[in-house]
Amino acid sequence: MEISDKVRALGLPIGKYVVVGGAMEAFGIRKAKDLDIVVTEDLFMELMQKGWKLCECEKCQAGWQRGSTDRILKGNGVDILSEYSCDDRYFAETDWLIKNATLIDGVPYIQLEELVKWKKASGREKDLRDIILIEEFFAKQDCSENVK
């Protein structure tokens, strides 16, 4: 099943979410390892009421103790995020991400430029590798536009 099919199967309302984890697959850069979706506050609460479980792992609890407002709902290999942030190094407004999303197959995905900002803030080895892949993708796009 393609990443966009997985997202559509969730039945989330357009204008209330943006896919962040899985965007690289949608853009054809690499297969997704997981599916992460940032949603509006009202949709987050609605999903909780529908039975999605709030993640209470050690990492999430440690974040809450530091004052983080970031929450995650877990279900069927999907993480639903209440916000798109990376500790105090990166934060993006959910409404802005949704408004400026790139539609692929009718599904809203985060702009790759914004994904790079998050990955740089994260600084994890896997994110640094992803940045290289995204930069290579941009370079190919620039070359193909020059040919036209």
34-83 pLDDT per residue, tens: 899 999 999 999 999 999 998 887 877 777 677 667 888 998 889 999 99
Instruction: Tell me which DSSP letter residue 104 carries.
Output: E
Look over the chain and give the mean of its residue pLDDT values, rounded to a whole number. Answer: 90
Lowest mean pLDDT of 28-32, 46-50, 83-87, name the range. Answer: 83-87
Beta bridge partners of 102: 109
Structure confidence at residue 144 (pLDDT): 56
Structure confidence at residue 1 (pLDDT): 58
More confident residue, 100 or 72: 100
Q: Are 46 and 27 in contact (CB under 8 A)?
A: no
Dihedral angle computed from the Cα positions of residues 24, 25, 31 and 34, in that order, rounded to the nearest 10 degrees: 80
Q: Does domain 3-111 have CATH number 1.20.272?
A: no
Read off the pTM: 0.90
Structure confidence at residue 148 (pLDDT): 46
Structure confidence at residue 39 (pLDDT): 97
Closest listed residue to residue 10, CA positions, set 60, 57, 50:
50
Structure confidence at residue 100 (pLDDT): 98
What are the domain boundaries of the chain?
A: 3-111
Q: Which residues of 94-110 are buried (b: 16+ CB within 10 A; e: fewer)?
A: beebbeebbebeebbbb
